[in-house]
Homo-oligomer: A and B are copies of this chain.
Amino acid sequence: MLKKIKIPDATIGRLSLYSRYLIEAHEKGITTVSSQHIAKATGVTPAQVRKDLAYFGEFGTRGVGYNSKELYNYIMKILGLDKRWSVAIVGAGNLGKALSQYKGFYQRGFDIACILDNDPKKVGKKISNINIYHLDALDEKVKELKINLGIIAVPAQAAQEVADKLVKAGIRGIINFAPINITVDENIILRRVDLSAQLEYLTYYLEEA
């Protein structure tokens, strides 16, 4: 079984970036790349690239490098992107609407299957062909649409409740865009993405100067 030892979270993020470079290289007709090429393109060190890959196996040829398409395929497999995933977005506010239309998800294998909200004024409508259902229909829709992932795009005070409902409905991977810490059972994968906090990194460093 793969992945027994702990792999840095940052490694996963870098694999994603490597894969984007690799497919680009492949499409440009570059069949072989070295760790140095990958490093240069993605802003890391060559040692880091090799270390990251070493967690998962041996993908290159010494003295040569890596076959770009082949390594791309391996990484996509590692990331679980050799198949498509079905995503439910909870919250049809500005952020939920926005995310539901973001084309970047589709390109990487994520299909936004539906949006859920508890506002009767929104339920029944569509956002660029994606149906908005009532949150009460969550369990049903998760089954029907074979949803595996959930995105929480509701206000902070509602986030924990929504998370509980997603878990109860059988979803095991959740992204929380609400700026609050929520807790879930340890067999659930949870990630918080705080958009404002990203800007705050900038202001922190700019303040300094």
Q: Among the listed B94, B197, B206, B209, which residue makes an inter-chain contact with A13, where contact means beta carbons less than 8 Å apart?
A: B197
Let me know if A16 is at the binding interface, CB within 8 A: yes
A191 touches B196 (CB 8 A): no
Nearest B residue (CB) for A96: B98
B residues less than 8 Å from A85 (CB atoms): 199, 203
Cβ contacts under 8 Å, A181 to chain B? 17, 21, 41-43
Q: How large is the interface on A (under 10, 10 to 19, 20 to 34, 35 or more residues)?
A: 35 or more
Cβ of B191 and Cβ of A201 under 8 Å apart?
yes
Q: Which of A58-66, A104-112, A114-122 is found at the contact surface with chain B?
A: A104-112
Contacts A98-B97, A102-B95 given; indicate if A79 touches B204 (C-beta within 8 A): yes
Interface window among A46-54, A133-141, A172-180: A172-180
A193-B198 contact in complex given A97-B98, A98-B98, A102-B94, C-beta closer than 8 Å: yes
Report the nearest B residue to A193, measured CB to CB: B198
A179 and B104 in contact (CB under 8 A), knowing A149-B203, A191-B198, A201-B12?
A: yes
